Amino acid sequence: MSFLESLPGSVILGPMAKGCNLPYRRLSVELGARVTCSEMALARRLKQNRRPEYALIRRAPEEPCFGVQLAGNKPEEMAWAAALVEERGASFVDVNLGCPIDYFTSKGLGAALARQPKRVAKIVEAMKLAVKAIPVTVKFRLGWNDDQRNYLEVARAAVDAGAGALFVHGRTRDARYRFAADWDAIGEVARAVSVPVIGNGDLLFPHEMEAARARSHCAAVAVARGALIKPWIFGEATSGYRDISADERVAIYRRYVALALEHWGDHDRGRGQVAEFTRWHFGFWCRYAPRRPDGSWPGMQEREDVRFARTPLEQLLARQDQAAHAWITERLLAGEDVDPAAAPPPSEEDTQPGSEIEVSG
């Protein structure tokens, strides 16, 4: 099925640097994702034939609808890269105007590029001419900061240049992830353009996705941190909320390790990569908390106190310290039981909410 045919009602795994590694996308598909997207790939590095960049655009055979997100600020480079990813099996190609990371914005990429709608139009137009059959999409934030919220101008420039759909992250670049996403602004974009709009921001539970779609009239929604915290979010989108047990969660994490070993290799170097990525993922997995006993829901913007845990294993999985994450990762790589009684004891600070891990895409 094509990207545009897949859109209505979809919950898309949005593009994220590191988070959208191929094994995690495969896991997401197994858990119900219909549309997935790559990590951000730099068009210039692809043209320079850098092998690590080519690994980012590889499609897993089981991905039903797979897009590649490109970053660049030169129309000719982006056009060349768009043709390349189409040739390599992408279902759509996305332009990154959202990455807030200083390293990239200082080079005029990501959110910095969105400050130049005319250049955005030239890039989209060049990419549209370079591809044969797949749509060019654009992902952007609401603006650079609250004084420069130019999202409607960017949206219209992209669509006029040939964009087939838009991804809208409901925050500015300066806001990063500190404030709640503005779904009213996302709805403004949906009403202002003639192409499908995919909204993104703060979606963690099925009722939130339904409310966001109703509020914004988006064709679909995308999840990023929500999918990192709970990869079973895609199944919930169709079947409803699950109060998933700690044992079920461990089985899902164990499956990720198996997929990662297939990808990076079951040898010393590959196992080192798997361990690094798994520890990184635990920085998000530990944030999962179920519906509260009073019927209210945890929010994306505030971490739950770890005292919500109902079992020793749930308490272990809620720990936010690197020692716990490394210990669980070692058990998963070794194929051993994750026994809370054998885990290293937490320190005082381990019981306090941790800081935000930033993702880009």
Q: Is the CB of residue 361 less than 8 Å from the CB of residue 40?
A: yes
Torsion of CA 232, 359, 14, 19, to 10 degrees: -60
* Structure tokens that stand for 174 in this block: 């300066």
65 is catalytic: no
Strand order in the sheet with 165-169: 11-13, 220-223, 197-200, 165-169, 136-140, 92-97, 66-71, 36-42
* Structure tokens that stand for 116 in this block: 């130049």
CA pair distance 157, 152, nearest whole angstrom: 8
Which one from 20, 65, 99, 218 is the annotated catalytic residue? 99
**If DSSP states are collapsed to H, E and C, what string results for 158-202?**
HHHCCCCEEEEECCCCCCCCCCCCCHHHHHHHHHHCCCCEEEECC
H or E stretch including 280? helix 268-285
Instruction: List residues with catalytic annotation.
Output: 99
